[in-house]
Chain A
Amino acid sequence: MRGLILSDDQTTDDMEDGPPATAQLPLDAWHRARGARMVPFAGYEMPIQYTGEGGGIVAEHEWTRTSAGLFDVSHMGQVLLSGEGLDEAVEAILPIDLSTLKLGRQRYSLLLDENGGVLDDLMVSRWPGNLYLVVNGATKWDDIGHLREHLPDAITLHHMDEHALLALQGPKAVDALARHATGEYALSDLTFMRFGRFEIAGHVVTIARAGYTGEDGFEISIPAEAAEEIATLLCAEPEVRPIGLGARDSLRLEAGLPLYGHDLSPEISPIEAGLIFGINKRRRSEGGFLGAERVQSEIAKGPAKTRIGLKLDGRMPAREGAKVFAGTEEIGVVTSGGFSPTLGAPIAMAYVDPAHAGEGQTIEIEVRSKRLSATVSPMPFVPHNYYRGS
């Protein structure tokens, strides 16, 4: 049989400006010591899953949905922007409204090219005196190049490559993390999309209540030299197990969250992707960001294609690249597909002609010259469980 090596083709992105292929992240040895199966991803060796008790994509997925999983996402790019006229300079690039982004808040945004195609999706946080960005691993070198090219000289860009990034995700993440995170206020005071400065084991860390699984959880930016100590500390908590990229992908698919390089690309606009919330209200009418023309036109006239969720009949999954049909007419293509452990059924995301995107419509997906029946379904497939305050 072939296809035994579980790797990801996202690493084929242009990495010319980056480090050599398959560099090591701060927790490389730590993962291996815990039985991780390492694969090349975004230019790094990363854990796809763990072996032994509690290991395996389905077990790791279910553990995260019911308890708490620790994900090493240190491959992602952490970037700090500062300088005179920062907000104005960033608004010329991103479709974000920084006048409403208060200190301690984080917001989802998009890096667009001149044609309105998505170069990356990212998080923007307002730290005291600067903006902190988290961008995707496979695109970070291109993103940094793009930002440097378009930001004026007065703006300083610092790539925080001396920092690791951990995500602790799941309904019990708050219990486990609260035992270690101390600060001016309690960890439980953070609500979804807020962040604060805390200490863990004497290290200064930044914790945001956010993630990529649909569950309550946290993203923790820590000094790289403290990564092993903090990861070990968190995994010693009874609620916490390390989780690999395989479960990260199945969790985000269930949560209806697009994956860059698959569901998002320079050929896709944010309106087609259903990410209009990433174009803040004032910017929709005012424009003035890269790609605004296409975005505004699609808001007014509607996009040529749209991202939908699909629930498939039967058990056979449809994968990225599978063609979508309405009768004999080809109407689109699957961009992410897999098996949902929570639903016990195959699910997918696809881009289709908006005429066939209505919830409940039945379409067909071609897999190995067979037609699989599927129903257009609302996303998320599994309800989000974010903490927005009591």
Chain B
Amino acid sequence: MPRYFTDEHEWIDVEGETATVGITDYAQEQLGDIVFVELPDVGAMVDKGGEAAVVESVKAASDVYAPITGEVTETNSSLEDEPALVNTSPEEEGWFFRLTISDTGELEGLMDDKGYKTFVDSL
């Protein structure tokens, strides 16, 4: 199952016509203690680059953008009671939402694992 990364520090797992989205370990490290995650409604359409979720740390709110266009099919309800999952398991249990893939062409230009690592090292 291929995993892609954005330069806004989201990751996206692609499985068939569905994609799972979360934020990277680097992002959670930068944000610090996460106290609340506002997730999109199931059934909502999100646009590539548009606001899809909000992560609240003790200090600040940060927007999470949709890496691709699609319809939200599922959100991670575990984050309602345990937003700290984003800190402890950002790239597995702390996933944010799943969506249908409208246009596989939008995946082009996203980074792979190696590309993202190089990108983070350059920051």
List residues of chain A with CB under 8 Å of any chain B CB. Answer: 1-6, 48-49, 56-59, 61, 246, 249-250, 315-317, 319, 338-339, 341, 346, 368
Offer 10 A-B interface pairs, CB within 8 angstroms, sorted by A.
A1-B8, A1-B9, A1-B55, A3-B61, A6-B32, A58-B33, A58-B58, A315-B35, A317-B35, A319-B61
Are the C-beta atoms of A339 and B36 separated by less than 8 Å? yes
- B63 contacts the other chain (CB 8 A): yes
Chief secondary structure at chain B's binding surface = strand
Q: Which of B23-31, B68-76, B99-107, B108-116 contacts A (4 or more CB under 8 A)?
A: B23-31
Q: How far is the CA of A316 from the CA of B54 in the complex (A)?
A: 10
In the complex, which residues of chain A have a beta carbon less than 8 angstroms from the beta carbon of B58? 57-58, 61, 246, 250, 338-339, 341
Interface: B88 (CB within 8 A): no
List CB contacts (< 8 Å) of B45-67 with chain A: 54-65
How far, in angstroms, from A319 to B38 measured CA to CA in the complex?
Answer: 14
Cα(A1)–Cα(B62), bound, Å: 7
- List the B side residues contacting A339 at CB < 8 Å: 35-36, 56-58
Is B36 touching A49 in the complex (CB atoms < 8 A)? no
11 additional contacts (CB under 8 A) given A1-B10, A57-B58, A246-B58:
A1-B23, A1-B55, A4-B9, A4-B27, A6-B57, A56-B32, A56-B33, A57-B33, A58-B33, A339-B35, A339-B58
Q: Which of A2, A59, A246, A316 contacts B59 (CB 8 A)?
A: A246
Alpha-carbon gap, A368 to B38, bound state (A)? 10
Who on chain B is nearest to A2 by CB? Answer: B63
Instruction: Give the residues in chain A near B8, CB-CB below 8 Å.
Output: 1-2
Inter-chain contacts of B64 with A (CB < 8 A): 1
Shortest Cβ distance from residue A343 to the other chain B in the assembled complex, whole angstroms: 11
Q: In the complex, what residues of B have CB within 8 A of residue A249's CB?
A: 59
Top 8 nearest A-B pairs (CB, nearest first) are A3-B62, A339-B35, A58-B33, A1-B64, A315-B36, A57-B58, A4-B30, A339-B58
Residue B94 interfacial (CB < 8 Å) = no
Q: Which residues of B contact A5 (CB under 8 A)?
A: 30
In-complex Cβ contact of B54 among A6, A338, A368 (8 A) = A368
Bound Cα distance from A61 to B58, whole angstroms: 10
What is the chain A residue whose CB lies nearest that of B29?
A: A51
Please report the C-alpha to C-alpha distance between residue A341 and residue B33 in the assembled complex, in whole angstroms.
10
Q: State in angstroms the CA–CA spacing of A317 and B58 once bound together.
A: 9
**Is there contact, CB below 8 Å, between B83 and A2?**
no
User: Shortest Cβ distance from A247 into chain B, in angstroms?
Assistant: 8
Q: How far is the CA of A1 from the CA of B31 in the complex (A)?
A: 11
> Which residue of B has the minimal Cβ distance to A57?
B58
Q: Contacts A316-B38, A316-B56, A317-B56 given: A4-B62 contact, CB under 8 Å?
A: yes
Complex CA distance for A241 and B76, rounded to whole angstroms: 36
Decide if A6 touches B59 in the complex (CB within 8 Å): yes
Contacts of B57 on A, CB cut-off 8 Å?
A: 6, 57, 339
Residue of A at shortest CB range from B84? Answer: A58
Across-interface contacts of B62 in A (CB, < 8 A):
1-4
Given the complex, which residues of A lie within 8 Å of B30, measured CB to CB? 4-6
* Bound Cα distance from A249 to B58, whole angstroms: 10
Measured CB to CB, the nearest residue on chain A to B23 is A1
Query: How far apart are B83's CB and chain A's nearest CB, in angstroms?
Result: 7
B59: chain A residues at CB < 8 Å are 6, 48, 57, 246, 249-250, 338
In the complex, what residues of A have CB within 8 A of residue B9's CB? Answer: 1, 4
Once A3-B62, A317-B56 are accepted as A-B contacts, the answer to whether A57 and B36 lie under 8 Å apart by CB is no
Q: Bound complex: CA of A158 vs CA of B114, how far in Å?
A: 56
Q: Are A317 and B65 in contact (CB under 8 A)?
A: no
The smallest beta-carbon distance between A250 and chain B, in angstroms, is 5
- In the complex, what distance in Å separates the CA atom of A48 from the CA atom of B32? 11
Nearest chain B CB to A58 CB, angstrom units = 4
Q: Are A1 and B65 in contact (CB under 8 A)?
A: yes
